[in-house]
């Protein structure tokens, strides 16, 4: 089970109640479960019916559009395929390099089980751009994880899922008593650092990939599988002895029975461009079940030499997925959670995903931010300030960080700005997102049918602010390190649901002016907020916003910035467009300076139909 839940894919439900803000599907036209299951697994006749049928009811189109974002792609493209430009061309000044995109590739096996996309096996896509020919070459390979090698029978060409995974329930195979929960699928993030290409997952060791062939080299245990090394002073406090006893009891069970590593590297990394360092973070396996959170930060040079390691123990039950840093701080948004007793019983019995053992904890009206010192020395007057969290005056569940930076005035006062995507505790619900039909009602992921429905992220009218949206968090500290003010606000009144914020990577950790984010145009009646179909460019200095949108029934993933010149917005944006109505994927290249203008698209390149792939999670641009 992940200690940090991802926001990459949040399944969507059709509300059965008549007061839903998004209209439900007409009962007589709702596709039956058998058809849905076949559609998810990519059955050819279902795809043909969907594409060729004259769909004149937008609710039906919305349902099918969402299903086909997650059709399994079992084929690999081991040999590079030159992509055809259907619009524009690669400009001569486009930097040579490779765009890597991580994400899941298969969701249904050949024995009746369908897993949640977060448990789908990692499918790495690579677009090699530039060079003397100016071509774009596409390759795609499955990451040969231990779980993939067990669940894929290459001799007969069949999949049989044996791992439950943190977010899924098996239909075929063993459910009750199945301890195969930590299914390292290496599907979340991809990183090229120095000579190493890594695919990361939230609860396990990264996998090393050969950059050009995408062959899987093997596990790359960058933190060495180390045990907890908590300091004595961090173990003091009322009730800590009892927590230590519980941790000592849980560790051998989690590690020996459920095969969870003692420390689990989280999937989101940071790059300090000014210092040319890679920053990683891990947490302890037992943290998800105890009112204690242990975080270890690591900083590496380009050769993966460990330059710094710092540990922090926080007496609170927290879950994080993404985080931030500045010149002098690591920043953690504490998403508060608690053990859910009814959910735990269902999870242990195999009737609900393991993640339903947890739920958000809305007992406090605020959200904690921990400013953890990056370089403070022993004896510093600010050394212990981090132990008291700064309380943000709102219940915010943080999904992804765009950037953060700090500025100090001549009096020693410190101002910290954090730009991120966050949602409300009122909306975030593990049981509804990941459960099946049970005592909690109709949930987003139904393992019996494999059905994913489109209204959970398409909230009722007036409740859009509960969905993931961009916020700015401002913190002011005096010269003694005491918090003087903390406020949170929508990013310059940009209130549309948005996620996957990106910046020019050269400005990471430094003051920046532009944020690019995936968002929605709101043009679809039955899919007004998600999946995303637009890219917005937000000027955080003057508050201006410009956007580019794909055409009808086409969706997009995360935008990735490719720097070209010295100016912050001088470059290109890469984004994959999923044209579900024609079952095609396109690599779209946008001129970052032209966003909002008619000629924003520089080039659009088509992936052959037989290699059409499902929605990806996070990508990385690796220049030559």
DSSP 512-525: -SEEEEEE-----S
Average pLDDT of the segment spanning 480-490: 92
Does a structural domain hold residue 14?
Answer: no
Q: Which residues are part of a known binding site for Fe cation?
A: 321, 400, 618
- 324-383 per-position pLDDT tens digit: 999 999 999 988 888 888 877 777 777 778 888 888 888 889 899 999 999 975 434 455
Q: What is the mean pLDDT of the chain?
A: 81
Convert the pLDDT of each residue in 15-61 to its tens digit: 222 233 333 333 333 443 333 333 334 434 344 434 434 443 477 78
Q: Is the pLDDT of residue 451 over 60?
A: yes
Identify the weakest region by mean pLDDT among 138-152, 480-494, 498-512.
480-494
Domain-located, residue 267: yes
Residue 56 has φ and ψ, to the nearest 5°, of -105, -5
369 closest CA partner among 394, 390, 383: 390
CB count within 10 Å of CB 15 equals 18
Q: How many domains does the chain have?
A: 1
Provide the residue range defining the domain that includes 530: 27-623
User: Which pLDDT value is given to residue 337?
Assistant: 87
Instruction: Note the helical H segments in 236-334.
Output: 240-252
Q: What is the mean pLDDT of residues 287-293?
A: 72
User: Any idea which of 284-288, 318-322, 362-366, 403-407 has the lowest mean pLDDT?
Assistant: 284-288
How does residue 457 score in pLDDT terms, banded at 50, 70 and 90?
Answer: low
Q: Which pLDDT score is estimated for 59?
A: 77
pLDDT of residue 528: 80
What pLDDT is attached to residue 290?
A: 65
Structural domain includes residue 135:
yes
- Cβ(405)–Cβ(329) below 8 Å: no
pLDDT score at 246: 52
Q: Which one is predicted more confidently, 220 or 44?
A: 220
Backbone φ and ψ for 275, nearest 5 degrees, come out as -95, -5
Which tens digits make up the pLDDT trace of 71-109?
999 999 999 999 999 999 999 999 999 999 999 999 999
- Residue 7 within any structural domain of the chain: no
Output the pLDDT for position 317. 87
The answer to whether residue 1 sits within a structural domain is no
Strand 584-591 to 601-607 pairing: antiparallel
* Annotated binding-site residue numbers: 321, 400, 618
pLDDT tens, residue by residue, 554-608: 999 999 999 998 999 999 999 999 998 889 999 999 999 999 999 999 999 999 9
Determine, yes or no, domain membership for 4. no
185 contacts 119 by C-beta, under 8 angstroms? yes
Q: Once rounded to an integer, what is the mean pLDDT over residues 164-172?
A: 83
What is the pLDDT at residue 427? 77
pLDDT over 90 for what percent of the chain?
Answer: 51
Q: DSSP for 7-62?
A: -S--------STT-SSPPPPGGGSPPHHHHHHHHTT-HHHHHHHHHS----HHHHH
Highest mean pLDDT among 174-178, 474-478, 487-491: 474-478
With respect to residue 72, please indicate whether it lies within any of the assigned structural domains.
Answer: yes
Residue 8 in any domain: the answer is: no
Share above pLDDT 70 across residues of the chain, in percent, rounded to a whole number: 76
Which range, of 268-282, 346-360, 407-421, 591-605, averages the lowest pLDDT? 346-360
């Amino acid at each position: 089970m992940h200690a940090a839940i991802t926001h990459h894919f949040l399944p969507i439900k059709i509300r059965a109640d008549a007061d839903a803000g998004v209209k439900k599907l007409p009962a007589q036209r709702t596709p039956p479960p058998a058809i849905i299951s076949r559609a998810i697994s990519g059955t050819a006749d279902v795809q043909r019916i969907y594409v060729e049928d004259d769909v004149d009811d937008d609710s039906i189109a919305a349902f099918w559009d969402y299903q086909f974002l997650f059709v399994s792609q079992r084929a690999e493209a081991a040999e590079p395929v030159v992509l055809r430009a259907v619009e524009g061309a690669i400009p001569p000044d486009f930097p040579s390099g490779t765009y890597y995109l991580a994400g899941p590739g298969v969701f249904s096996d050949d024995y009746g089980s369908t897993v949640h996309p977060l448990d789908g096996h990692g499918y790495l896509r690579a677009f090699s751009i530039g060079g003397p020919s100016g071509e774009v070459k596409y390759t795609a390979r499955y990451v040969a994880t231990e779980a993939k090698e067990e669940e894929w029978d290459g001799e007969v060409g069949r999949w049989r899922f044996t791992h439950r995974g943190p977010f899924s329930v098996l239909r075929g195979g063993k459910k009750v008593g199945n301890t195969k929960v930590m299914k390292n699928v290496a599907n979340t993030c991809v990183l090229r650092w120095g000579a190493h290409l890594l695919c990361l997952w939230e609860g396990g060791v990264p996998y090393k990939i050969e950059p050009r062939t995408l062959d899987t080299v093997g596990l790359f245990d960058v933190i060495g599988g180390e045990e907890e090394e908590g300091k004595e002073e961090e173990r003091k406090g009322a009730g800590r002895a009892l927590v230590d006893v519980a941790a000592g009891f849980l560790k051998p069970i989690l590690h020996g029975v459920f095969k969870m590593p003692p420390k689990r590297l989280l999937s989101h990394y940071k790059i300090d461009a000014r210092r040319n360092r890679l920053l990683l973070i891990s947490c302890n396996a037992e943290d998800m079940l105890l009112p204690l959170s242990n975080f270890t930060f690591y900083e590496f040079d380009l050769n993966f030499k460990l330059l710094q390691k710092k540990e922090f123990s926080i007496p609170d039950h927290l879950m994080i997925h993404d985080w931030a840093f500045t010149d002098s701080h690591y920043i953690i948004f504490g998403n508060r959670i608690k053990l859910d007793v009814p959910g735990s019983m269902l999870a242990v019995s195999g009737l609900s995903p393991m993640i339903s053992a947890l739920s958000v904890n809305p007992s406090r009206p605020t959200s904690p931010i921990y400013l953890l010192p990056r370089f403070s020395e022993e004896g510093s007057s600010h050394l212990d300030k981090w132990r008291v969290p700064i309380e943000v005056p709102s219940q915010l569940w943080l999904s992804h960080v765009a950037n953060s930076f700090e500025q100090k005035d001549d009096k020693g006062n410190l101002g910290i700005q954090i730009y991120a995507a966050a949602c409300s505790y009122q909306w975030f619900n593990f049981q509804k997102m990941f459960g099946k039909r049970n005592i909690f009602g109709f949930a987003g992921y139904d393992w019996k049918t494999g059905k994913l429905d489109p209204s959970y992220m398409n909230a009722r009218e007036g409740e859009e602010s509960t969905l993931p949206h961009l916020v700015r968090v401002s913190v002011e500290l005096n010269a003694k390190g005491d918090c003087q003010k903390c406020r949170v606000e929508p990013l310059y009144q940009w209130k549309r649901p948005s996620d996957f914020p990106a910046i020019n990577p050269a400005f990471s950790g430094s003051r920046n002016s532009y944020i690019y984010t995936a968002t929605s145009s709101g043009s679809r009646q039955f899919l007004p907020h998600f999946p995303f179909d637009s890219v917005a460019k937000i000027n955080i200095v003057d508050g201006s916003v410009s956007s580019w949108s794909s055409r009808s029934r086409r969706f997009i993933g995360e935008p990735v910035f490719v720097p070209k010149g010295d100016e912050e917005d001088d470059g290109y944006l890469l984004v994959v467009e999923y044209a579900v109505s024609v079952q095609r994927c396109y690599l779209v290249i946008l001129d970052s300076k032209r966003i909002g203008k008619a000629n924003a698209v520089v080039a659009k390149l088509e992936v052959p139909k037989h290699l059409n792939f499902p929605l990806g999670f996070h990508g990385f641009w690796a220049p030559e």
